[in-house]
Chains A and B, each alone.
Chain A
């Protein structure tokens, strides 16, 4: 495997996508908590 096509820090791309989705889910949860607190 060439240097430029190495998998990401997370080992596999599937794990990287899961990390992105988990982060997004946390962002939405925080935004919803913000909405509940200040509305």
Chain B
């Protein structure tokens, strides 16, 4: 990165929050601080919801995911449009009618105080840790590749977010997210255009897609019912539906985004906007990864993208083994490149043989990379995240022009800031409304609660930074974030589904059902090897089932008492 890059980076990450601070100056009421005002329209809500979901991992890892395994990951989003429609039709009208600040307030009104606190507690534990990972994951990658100090990078990404989120509340989060996501989309579109432009001049875009397809990178939809396949149409529709329903219906960091402004029409339209644009957006990000993959078929890629880890292994005396692998890798790369060039001009009858040859060479290259990883592990230089997480940022830093590099690094920071600000805003609001106001100071002034929310938001920001500082203890960050969400989401969604659909179930039954279900999920997590996405389904189903059984047996009398009243 040169001076132009640093100028663009600093100008971009400072300008948006400063504009937001100017727009939100003044002393807001609690309602204004937690929900914003009517100036927040559906477009802002739609972009804000999009920005909250698309954290830095999306833009760092997704292209790398397509580079490694193709664009089949898109199917994970197939359940989301249906979940968003359910949220629009059932969740949003209830939240808006009751004028709640947090979705857990609704649990208090429908059931009782302890169920409300349980929902809020599960959210706070899960999101508090996830906020730390959101800050740490891009910081470890950027600090490694740009030789920045890790703690300084964490504070740069996290400190500024805390400051503006505390000052401006929900309105500044929505406003800044609108511009941050625009910067992100412009940056990713530029990267896509440049990746295509950097392909060999004699290769048309259609030919490029054809080669990527023959190398099995463009299978977007797979209707297979083979359960061993990780991404299929069916697993995306079913698993994606449950995950999205929990995330959009029962996670305050999203609920607060679409309740901003207080209009049912704006909330619903903003969510439907996401139902329509999410799949095309993720497709283009994954296709960018496929283009980067193609680029590296003609330009030799590093054998291992996480170069700092690779260098550490050389320093520890593993240079000879790695040099031997590098020689093999170079040879395979040259033969593969020549075969791909022959394939792009081959006649129809020669094409299948060349395709088979390219696939074989690609498998050999992958085998060499796997062996490299084993040597790095032997050297004790085990990386903290997958090597594919470093693919896109390596392409950006080494092959994009100055200025664009600064913009793309700003994209990573914008994604970190937008996702973190939404989560801190939700953590502060939930702690203030569901714990502080309901348990500690029930009858204070509006101004008192605004100050309390600000203090609690800042406190959560410091907790997130502290977690980010200790996150190096976690082996695989992206995986850790997903597992953490899946362990808690099922039980939280179960609480809300019981509230909506099992009208005869009362507070005590659902409370103990959620406690049992969460314990069950934790026991399974520590003792079994079930795929983590299943925890969502198990947790949710267990709450529904146990709540109904407990209400019919142990708490039968509470139902009768409620009916008499």
Which A residues lie at the B interface, using CB under 8 A? 4-8, 13, 16-17, 20-21, 23-24, 27-28, 31-32, 34-35, 37-39
Contact = CB atoms under 8 A, between A and B. Distances in A.
B214 to A, nearest CB: 8
Contacts of A17: 85, 88-89, 272
Given A13-B88, A20-B85, A20-B276, 7 more contacts: A5-B265, A8-B265, A16-B268, A24-B279, A31-B283, A32-B220, A39-B218
Interface of B: 38, 74, 78, 81-82, 84-85, 88-89, 209-210, 212-213, 216, 218-222, 262-266, 268-269, 272, 275-276, 279-280, 283
Given A27-B280, A39-B213, A5 B218 contact: no
A7 B210 CA distance: 45
Contacts of A6: 265
Contacts of B276: 20, 23-24
B121 to A, nearest CB: 33
A20 B263 CA distance: 20
Contact of B263 (A5, A21, A31, A38): A5
B272 A35 contact: no
B151 to A, nearest CB: 43
Contacts of B221: 28, 31-32, 35
Contacts of A38: 209-210, 212-213, 218
Contacts of B280: 27
9 contacts: A4-B38, A4-B263, A5-B264, A17-B88, A20-B84, A20-B85, A35-B219, A38-B213, A39-B218
A5 B222 CA distance: 40
B264 A20 contact: no
Nearest to B70: A39
B75 to A, nearest CB: 9
Contacts of A5: 263-265
Contacts of B85: 17, 20-21
A38 B84 CA distance: 30
B206 to A, nearest CB: 9
A2 to B, nearest CB: 9
A34 B72 CA distance: 12
Contacts of B38: 4
B81 A20 contact: yes
A30 to B, nearest CB: 9
A32 B209 CA distance: 15
A23 to B, nearest CB: 5
B394 to A, nearest CB: 25
Contacts of B213: 37-39
A34 B218 contact: yes
Contacts of B218: 34-35, 38-39
Nearest to A36: B221
Contacts of B265: 4-8
B216 A39 contact: yes
Contacts of B212: 38
Interchain residue pairs A-B with the least CB separation, the first 5: A38-B213, A4-B263, A31-B220, A38-B218, A24-B81
A24 B280 CA distance: 10
B220 A35 contact: yes
A22 to B, nearest CB: 10
A4 B74 contact: no
B81 A13 contact: no
Contacts of B283: 31
B234 to A, nearest CB: 13
A4 B219 contact: no
Contacts of B84: 20
A21 B212 CA distance: 30
Contact of A4 (B82, B266, B272): B266
B220 A20 contact: no
A31 B262 contact: no
Nearest to B263: A4
A37 to B, nearest CB: 8
Contacts of A37: 213
A7 B220 CA distance: 35
Contacts of B262: 4
A27 to B, nearest CB: 5
A31 B82 CA distance: 18
Contacts of A20: 81, 84-85, 272, 275-276
B307 to A, nearest CB: 32
A19 to B, nearest CB: 8
A37 B84 CA distance: 30
A12 to B, nearest CB: 12
A27 B220 CA distance: 11
A36 to B, nearest CB: 9
A31 B212 CA distance: 15
